[in-house]
Amino acid sequence: MEIGATLAKLELSTSDPQKLADFYSSAFKLEQSAHHDSIVCSAPGRELVFVPGEGGQLKRASFSFKDVDSLSSYRSVLLSRGAELIEDKPHVITLADPHGHLVSFFTTASLDNAPLPDDARLQHFALRTPEPTKLAEFYTEKLGFVVSDRVLNDVGELTAIFMRTDAEHHAMAIFRAPMIRFDHLSCEVADWVQLRDWADHMASVGIDLAWGVGRHGPGNDTFFMVRDIDGNMGEISSELEICEQNRPAGVWPHRPQTLNQWGVAIMRS
């Protein structure tokens, strides 16, 4: 069963927080505010934080629960699995994954029962690592993320995995790659028409599409991506698969058509 949390915020490190904030503010229609040495960029349903540090790295991913009781129940599950909480407060708990990325789960009164926005809400993110199996085991066995699909190469090695926290096909993906780094963030829109409108918006602010328009195999969503100055990608996705509970995990072959059924794919390995 899915844990019932949704992705709410991502914190990325970069050598130039202001330049990255300017890019995402323009591309994803975000408002900026400064907080000490970080820059917060936000709009209803999506929030990004940029902090000084090594470019192309995830610092923290934050997921929200609908109420305090749900968070409390999840805390009990984590402790029963032997998870180490590096932050444990009534409204927020935090863990670190094997690569040192922080993963927080929180709830606030302002989020209780708030409807999800239809227009470009932050929905999932992806990481690259030379050790996808090790990283995935943490998210599935410790955190309880549910596997929707795996991608395997010709000798059965894991090259990608897609995991969900609610009914949507994935809240997180992991790709095998030569180095540890952030891969992409994705904002979900309701349909093809909104996807088109966001592509038109990118054109209007002078941002070229780096990948797409295409259709992913796992998730079956239509999408396009843009690329920032650090090499991270930002995605607009529409009509992501909604999974029934106990849906069997799928297996896909490691080939370009798996990542883009309509054409050229960005292969991480």
What are the pLDDT digits (tens) for 49-73?
A: 999 999 999 999 999 999 999 999 9
Nearest to 21 by CA among 30, 70, 147, 268: 30
Residue 100, pLDDT score: 98
Same fold for the domain at 6-111 and the one at 121-259?
Answer: yes
> What distance in Å separates the CA atoms of residue 42 and residue 19, rounded to the nearest whole number?
15
Dihedrals φ, ψ of 10, to 5°?
A: -125, 140
Q: Using alpha carbons, list the distances in angstroms from residue 240 to 14, 59, 152, 236.
A: 29, 26, 21, 11
Q: Token pair for residue 227?
A: 């690329």
Residue 119, pLDDT score: 86
Mean pLDDT, range 205-228, rounded to an integer: 98
SS3 assignment, position 86: coil
One-letter amino acid identity for 240?
L
6-111: CATH topology is 2,3-Dihydroxybiphenyl 1,2-Dioxygenase; domain 1 (3.10.180)
Q: Band the pLDDT of 108: cuts 50, 70, 90.
A: confident
Task: Report the sign of the C-alpha dihedral through residues 99, 165, 120, 213, in that order.
Answer: positive
What are the pLDDT digits (tens) for 155-214?
A: 999 999 999 999 999 999 999 999 999 999 999 999 999 999 999 999 999 999 999 999
Residue 117, pLDDT score: 63
Name the CATH superfamily for 121-259. 2,3-Dihydroxybiphenyl 1,2-Dioxygenase, domain 1 (3.10.180.10)
- DSSP secondary structure string, 128-187? EES-HHHHHHIIIIIS--EEEEEEE-TTS-EEEEEEESSSBS-SEEEEE-SS-EEEEEEE
Mean pLDDT, range 142-152, rounded to an integer: 99
> What distance in Å separates the CA atoms of residue 147 and residue 163, rounded to the nearest whole number?
4
Domain extent listing, the chain:
6-111, 121-259
Check whether 112 has a pLDDT greater than 70.
Answer: no
